[in-house]
């Protein structure tokens, strides 16, 4: 099933496949797929740039401007809990571009358009440490089950494994996003307008590349990462991890956000 929605960003509840969060400008909506309706709406004072469900499904982090606000998810409502203190800028004014939880839910990694990415301790609302980013402002972040953190700028990706004390950098051009394969394989993908390039574990070797014309959004399927959804030049297609095209699921839809639900039975496309 493909769910087509207008504007904003989308993410599904990590265990409840019918519940999703959708943004539209400065509003965040909590909605039910099975009921076909919005359950709750909360309005913020700036346009929302990124959202992420906590891995246990009990809360949502929302990034906007130079702020990240946490919401408790209780009884189908969003209850504002706390915001992160505004931090020091290392490269111009900090602007939230992307946020991602670590798999254990203890920390939030923040791509805030500066030269480092703050890693925030959720429990006590304090800065755990700053992770060294690429050589340019960080615009995208991703994590995986093994505790690996990937940070992307427009020209390179910095990859850290805190537990294994490893670090490497991949140089590329025109990067728009970095993704981590959700399986335990340690692979990552660098997204540009003309390619979805996968890299091998602990190395800088390109493992597989899917060429595109004008890639605007992409997503791995949950848990196993066996399927990749790619929005390219108004068309959404499914691919295998090995770069084999499976099928085109919709056309004539300019997409800016894609997400699989928790059981991979629904693919949501947000755009126009």
Direct distance between the N- and C-terminal alpha carbons of the chain, in angstroms, rounded to an integer: 18
Integer Cα distance of 245 and 14 in angstroms:
26
Integer Cα distance of 269 and 10 in angstroms:
8
- CA dihedral sign, ordered 34, 35, 40, 41: positive
- Which comes out higher in pLDDT, residue 225 or 90? 225
* Residue-by-residue DSSP string for 171-197: E-SS--EEEE-SSTT--EEEEETTEEE
Q: Sorting pLDDT into bands at 50, 70 and 90, what band is 123?
A: confident
Structure tokens belonging to residue 125: 């609302």
Least confident window among 132-136, 175-179, 192-196, 219-223: 132-136
Percent over 90 (pLDDT), the chain: 35
Q: What is the pLDDT of residue 53?
A: 94
What is the H or E stretch that residue 192 is in? Answer: strand 188-192
Integer Cα distance of 129 and 143 in angstroms:
15
Q: Sorting pLDDT into bands at 50, 70 and 90, what band is 239?
A: very high
Which pairs with CB-CB distance under 8 Å and at least 24 residues apart come from 169-177? 169/134, 169/204, 170/199, 170/204, 172/197, 175/139, 175/140, 176/139, 176/140, 176/215, 177/98, 177/139, 177/140, 177/152, 177/218
pLDDT in tens, 163-188: 767 788 888 899 999 999 887 667 88
Q: What is the pLDDT of residue 208?
A: 80
State the burial class of residue 165 (Cβ atoms within 10 Å of its Cβ: 0-12, 13-18, 19+): exposed
pLDDT in tens, 27-68: 999 999 888 888 888 898 888 999 999 999 988 999 988 888
């Amino acid at each position: 099933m493909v769910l087509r929605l207008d504007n904003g960003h989308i993410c599904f509840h990590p265990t409840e496949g019918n519940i999703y969060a959708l943004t539209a400008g400065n509003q965040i909506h909590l909605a039910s797929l099975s009921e076909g309706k919005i359950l709750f709406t909360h309005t913020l004072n700036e346009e929302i740039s990124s959202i992420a469900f906590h891995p246990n499904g009990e809360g949502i982090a929302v990034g906007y401007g130079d702020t990240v606000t946490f919401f408790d998810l209780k009884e189908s409502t969003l209850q504002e809990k706390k915001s992160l203190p505004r931090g020091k800028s290392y490269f111009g004014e900090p602007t939230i571009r992307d946020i991602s939880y670590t798999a254990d839910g203890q920390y939030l990694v923040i791509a805030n358009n500066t030269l480092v990415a703050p890693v925030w301790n959720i429990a006590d609302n304090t800065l755990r440490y700053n992770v060294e980013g690429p050589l340019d402002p960080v615009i995208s972040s991703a994590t995986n089950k093994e505790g690996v953190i990937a940070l992307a700028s427009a020209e390179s990706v910095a990859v850290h494994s805190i537990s294994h004390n490893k670090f490497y950098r991949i140089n590329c051009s025109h990067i728009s996003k970095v993704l981590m394969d959700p399986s335990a394989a340690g692979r990552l993908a660098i997204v540009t307008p003309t390619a979805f390039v996968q890299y091998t574990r602990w190395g800088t070797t390109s493992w597989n590349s899917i060429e595109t014309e004008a890639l605007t959004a992409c997503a791995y399927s949950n848990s196993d990462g066996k399927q990749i959804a790619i929005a390219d030049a108004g068309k959404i297609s499914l691919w295998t991890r090995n770069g084999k095209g499976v099928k085109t699921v919709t056309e004539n839809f300019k997409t800016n956000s894609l997400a699989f639900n928790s059981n991979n039975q629904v693919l949501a496309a947000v755009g126009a």
